[in-house]
A = this chain, B = another copy of it.
């Protein structure tokens, strides 16, 4: 593997924006943007845990960037700069790094952000897993971050796009389901809903991205908001490919509401916002579907068309609030 400085110069410096100072310094310099809050998210992806060994470097870079941008999108933020930390196996090739940088370049171009810094290192461990840590920085107008804590009883619950595609795609990649290119692509390449997120700043009462699974992420919103929710299974938006897969096996239904990696936005909004949300959906060409209602009763209830409970979720991380000393 080439020297760290060579790597930075050859592959990463061309990705740097003004804030990154050409990646020639120990730190980045981000000027204040009066009137804006900075929104920061950090995610760590580990080979074998978050992605399959052997995933293409270009795809991986786009996925790692997309996963982080999705966090910002759900907060209503426009991504601006990011930092990359890499732990590479000692035998990592020059070609791999070049392909990874190409993936970052593609992601940057799609979402209009630039590299500001990072750290590239190797692991001496015999079977070292590749680790990618990204910190992404974006901005919202002051005070307009869409927090998780903000849902009120009576609010409607909405979700963008379709659900379960990525989880079914992963099953395909693992050979446990017929391989469908649409579904595997949904697993491989997150498409964070940045334009929807920005517009939701003035609409949503609470939001999160769907990364852990619909009911889990809704659970996070409800727990910190001190409310519960009922979700109608019959309203969950499905892609054609997911619908087809479900017909082959009844047991796959749980992947729709529990599968992760969709990177859609789940949000709550007062009922009065319904028309505004329909208009937004049309404007940005992204389906936005009402799937349930926020209620006073804690817990998340998934019900079928007859109102029968299909699934309940544990009440998020309830003791979180008790232990939090703030």
Contact surface of A with B, Cβ cutoff 8 Å: 3, 5-6, 8-10, 13-14, 16, 21-50, 71-72, 74-75, 77, 83-87, 116-129, 131, 133, 135, 137, 142, 145, 147-149, 208-209, 220, 224, 316-317, 319-320, 323-326
Contact = CB atoms under 8 A, between A and B. Distances in A.
A148 B25 contact: yes
B38 A32 contact: yes
Given A30-B37, A32-B33, A125-B125, 11 more contacts: A5-B316, A5-B320, A13-B320, A26-B74, A28-B39, A31-B37, A32-B35, A40-B117, A44-B87, A48-B123, A49-B122
Contacts of A120: 44
A16 B142 CA distance: 21
A21 B87 contact: no
A38 B38 contact: yes
A26 B71 contact: yes
A145 to B, nearest CB: 5
A24 B148 contact: yes
B6 A319 contact: yes
A325 B49 contact: no
Contacts of A133: 42, 44, 85, 119, 131, 133
A49 B90 CA distance: 11
A36 B3 CA distance: 34
B48 A38 contact: no
11 contacts: A9-B319, A24-B220, A25-B148, A32-B32, A40-B116, A40-B137, A42-B85, A42-B118, A44-B121, A48-B125, A125-B125
A220 B209 CA distance: 41
B29 A38 contact: yes
B26 A148 contact: yes
Interface hub of A14, A26, A87, A317 (most chain B Cβ within 10 A): A26
Interface hub of A14, A84, A129, A209 (most chain B Cβ within 10 A): A129
B127 A24 contact: no
Contacts of A317: 3, 5-6, 8-9
A253 to B, nearest CB: 25
Nearest to A223: B24
B13 A326 contact: yes
A43 B6 contact: no
Given A26-B148, A319-B6, A123 B32 contact: no
A8 B122 CA distance: 28
A246 to B, nearest CB: 29
A215 to B, nearest CB: 14
